[in-house]
Structure 1
Amino acid sequence: MTSRLSGFRNLSVEQRRARAAEAMKVPLALFDALSPDRGLSLGQADHMAENVVGVLGLPVGIATNFVVNGRDILVPMATEEPSVVAAASNLARMTRDHGGFRTSSSVPLMQAQVQILDVADPAGARVRLLSAAEELIALANGQDPALVRFGGGAREISVRLVPSRRQTYVVLHLVVDVRDAMGANAVNTMAEAIAPRAAEIARGRTLLRILTNKADLRLTRVSATFDAGLLGGPDVVENMLDAAEFAVADPYRAATHNKGIMNGVTAVVLATGNDTRAVEAGAHSHAVGPDGRYTAMSRFEKNADGDLVGTLELPMPVGLVGGATKVHPVARANVTLLGVETASELAEIIVAVGLAQNAAAVRALATEGIQRGHMSLHARNVAVTAGATAAEIDTVVARMVADRSVRADAAERILADLRDRP
């Protein structure tokens, strides 16, 4: 199997499906679910959310060239933004001669918070709760014997004292190994179950009992070496290092730098039916350093050979069981295409795509500027909006890009000129 599919972008949709199916050794019929008339039905959607009136379609593209931990993969990405899939694929190509992306993950631990109010002796309550850890963990695990049977379950508790303008809250954290689930339902159920006993031990009353999306105990890491020659040479590497360091030093730049990472991350999370909001909340909270300053999620360095080395570490609370991942037919097909068997494998692919996407954006900024590649692809949308037919799109796009005028009025003017010709 190989993810190096030269000329993939020049194929028709049907040809791409056939090529991807052959490359990943999956049935061609797998892609049926990705057709608008064969994907999520209104009936299925009506069971997934409230007050359903329809479904929203998004383009699903395949990122090529990815090697993650020695395995070639094709990565489905759901995104409406031009250049994202192409950029990730291009930078993944530049890692192949250096082994691709290397990843690792921590144990999939999620945390629930139980907020306890009106405690007369918060410090004393903290000690009492910690002393009752064994009892509380057993009570939590009694709520989900299936999770325990699969090797997961509540592992420990911690207790924090959180001062506020109203009072000092006693906050119990329940740490749960959620295995291959995202974990929200399991963790919340356990928090609800232990809350009455925790309130009794602390001698207060509980209010909130819910997971935290600051998933800082469930981390996924990736590193990759991007070939200096393929990037454009030593000067490009140096410029990329300065562009990346700007994001480390300045929170205004970091916000856009990190958005580039999430362009890749969110596209794969969405394509596999996982919770984009939970992942985004965890990622951006993780970008706040110990000094309280928001900074870049990724880091870039130069190795002894002059190549660019990128690293990224993010909380990645994604799952393969429960939720839309099992219910949504397109999500199921995309997970099958990835060939992942554990949530950790999925998380590692996601952060690899995030790093590739980030490196692509930094390279574009450090060389030609972000607009050239981005606007070339955006021009297709503009041409279609202006009324260009399939036979006219390429000509309209080429003219707009050459004129550096990717606008609706420019597309309309070019179309009028084309159609006036004999």
Structure 2
Amino acid sequence: MTSRLPGFYTLPVEERLRLIASLCDLTPDEAHALLPGQGLSLDQADKMIENALGVFVIPFGIATNFLVNGESHFVPMVVEEPSIVASASNTAKIVRKAGGFTATSTGRQMVGQVQVVHCSDWESARQRLLQKKGELLARANEARPTMTARGGGALDLDVKVLNGNGDRGWLPMLVVQVTIDTRDAMGANVIDTMMEAIAPDVEAITGGTVYLRILSNYTDTCLAQAQCTIPAELLGTKTLDGVEVRDRIIAAYAFAELDIYRAVTHNKGIMNGIDAVAVATGNDWRALEAAAHAYAARGGRYRSMTEWEIGEHGELVGRLELPMPVATVGGATSVNPVAKTALKLLNVTHAAQLAEIMVSVGLAQNLAALRALVTEGIQRGHMALHARARQAISSPVKQ
């Protein structure tokens, strides 16, 4: 299977679906789930959220041409913005000619926290908790034995004291922070259950009062990285040579590194692609957004999520590293039939692989935006697609 499908966008929608269903070995039910009104049922929606009235339909498309770690992938994207799928596909084609994206990930470790207040001796309480680390980790794992059976579970525990002097009138507090391997699940419910399980023991050990028992969405222990190296000649346009385009891209990146007003828009473009894949696969795009923007400010100043530089032989080299707490099991990925079909289209076997593809999509989206901005401008292709969308909406529906 190859994700390189020249002229795919020119085919009628029905023919595109037949072709992709054939290439990805979709069952009739899996392909049928992508049709309007055939995916998430009203009964399923009613069980997912409170006060459900219906379902909201957003276009489901695929970005073609992606080559990640030597493997072709069709990338499902759920998004209403006209230019996102097109720009991702076109940029992936350029990167494919240069060998594709190389991606890695650091693991599937997430963090849970227990907040303790009203301790009489903070440092003594901290030491007692560290002495009981083994027992607390065991208690956490007892709460979700299926996670440990899969090779995951609570791995480590640390304790920190916050606001020990009671500054600004706030309570001093002690925070128990547990590192948990969630395997192929996003793990929010697992982590919350574990934190609630150890809370009584934490109170008994410290003599304090537990308030919050909750996961953290700052997942800097669950990272994915992507890189691409593109010869300058592949970047040229009809009016600009590749070296000029490369240098303009570097200047555009520097703008985002130096100025927060530019950095926010620069990074929003990266998340355009990542969020679209997250929605398609039933993942929590809000958690991804929160972690990504926090990670962009981890040095004390909000900066570009990507890095671009000129390589040893004059190539354009791009990198993106972000927290990627995504899942291939559990949550909406298991409930929504469209999400199940999306994961099958992607042809991924585990959550780390999904994370690596998604961060590659973010890098592609950033390159697409920068290349457009420094050459013809963002509006030419963007507004043409908008005009097509408006025309389609205003045209009578064929019966």
Query: Would you say 1:274 and 2:283 are equivalent positions?
Result: yes
CA distance in 2, matches of 1:32, 1:375: 31
Greater shift, 302-311 or 247-256, is seen at: 302-311
Give yes or no for contact 1:114–1:191 (8 Å, CA) kept in 2: yes
The one of 281, 289, 293 equivalent to 1:284 is 293
Query: Residue 197 of structure 2 aligns to a residue in which SS?
Result: helix
CA distance in 2, matches of 1:23, 1:227: 31
Superposed CA RMSD in Å reads 1.4
1:235-263: per-residue Cα shift (whole Å, max 9, x none)? 00000001011111111111001000000
**Residue of structure 2 in register with 1:190 after alignment:** 194
> Alpha-carbon deviation of 1:123?
2.0
- Give the partner amino acid of 1:3: S
Structure 1-normalised TM-score?
0.90
Give yes or no for contact 2:306–2:321 (8 Å, CA) kept in 1: yes
Ranges of 4+ aligned residues in structure 1 off by more than 3 Å: 22-29, 388-391
**Residue of structure 1 in register with 2:60 after alignment:** 60
Query: Would you say 1:363 and 2:367 are equivalent positions?
Result: no
Give yes or no for contact 1:108–1:218 (8 Å, CA) kept in 2: yes
Query: Would you say 1:160 and 2:168 are equivalent positions?
Result: no
**Residue of structure 2 in register with 1:104 after alignment:** 104
- Give the partner amino acid of 2:266: H
1:358-417: per-residue Cα shift (whole Å, max 9, x none)? 1100111111111111111111122234x34589xxxxxxxxxxxxxxxxxxxxxxxxxx
- Give the partner amino acid of 2:283: N
- Give the partner amino acid of 1:118: H
> Alpha-carbon deviation of 1:38?
1.3
Give yes or no for contact 2:308–2:317 (8 Å, CA) kept in 1: yes
Count of matched residue positions in the alignment of Structure 1 and Structure 2: 389
**Residue of structure 2 in register with 1:261 after alignment:** 270
1:75-101: per-residue Cα shift (whole Å, max 9, x none)? 000000111000011111111132211
1:92-145: per-residue Cα shift (whole Å, max 9, x none)? 111113221111111201111100001122222222211111010000010111
CA distance in 1, matches of 2:374, 2:384: 18
CA distance in 1, matches of 2:397, 2:55: 26
1:203-236: per-residue Cα shift (whole Å, max 9, x none)? 2100000001001111111111234222111000
CA distance in 2, matches of 1:246, 1:343: 34
Query: Residue 94 of structure 1 aligns to a residue in which SS?
Result: helix
Give yes or no for contact 2:139–2:198 (8 Å, CA) kept in 1: yes
CA distance in 2, matches of 1:39, 1:273: 12
Give the alignment of 1:16-415 within 5 angstroms: 16-27=16-27, 30-163=30-163, 165=168, 166-232=170-236, 233-290=242-299, 292-385=300-393, 387-388=394-395
Greater shift, 29-38 or 176-185, is seen at: 29-38
- Give the partner amino acid of 2:70: G
Give yes or no for contact 2:30–2:337 (8 Å, CA) kept in 1: no
Give yes or no for contact 1:91–1:226 (8 Å, CA) kept in 2: no
**Residue of structure 1 in register with 2:239 after alignment:** none
1:281-314: per-residue Cα shift (whole Å, max 9, x none)? 1111111132x11111110111123221111011
Query: Would you say 1:4 and 2:4 are equivalent positions?
Result: yes
- Give the partner amino acid of 1:283: A
CA distance in 1, matches of 2:359, 2:218: 17
CA distance in 2, matches of 1:346, 1:237: 29
Greater shift, 162-171 or 79-88, is seen at: 162-171
1:22-62: per-residue Cα shift (whole Å, max 9, x none)? 33344465321000121111011111110000000000111
- Give the partner amino acid of 2:151: G
> Alpha-carbon deviation of 1:176?
0.5
CA distance in 1, matches of 2:51, 2:397: 37
> Alpha-carbon deviation of 1:18?
2.1
Select the structure with the greater relative contact order (CA < 8 A; seq sep ≥ 6). Answer: 2
Structure 2-normalised TM-score?
0.95
Query: Residue 354 of structure 2 aligns to a residue in which SS?
Result: helix
Give yes or no for contact 2:24–2:344 (8 Å, CA) kept in 1: no
- Give the partner amino acid of 1:200: A
Q: Unaligned 5+ residue runs, structure 1? A: 392-422
Query: Residue 58 of structure 2 aligns to a residue in which SS?
Result: coil
Give yes or no for contact 1:115–1:170 (8 Å, CA) kept in 2: yes
CA distance in 2, matches of 1:267, 1:313: 18
CA distance in 2, matches of 1:26, 1:197: 49
Give yes or no for contact 1:109–1:175 (8 Å, CA) kept in 2: yes
- Give the partner amino acid of 1:143: A
- Give the partner amino acid of 2:291: G
1:6-32: per-residue Cα shift (whole Å, max 9, x none)? 001101111111222333344465321
Query: Residue 34 of structure 1 aligns to a residue in which SS?
Result: coil
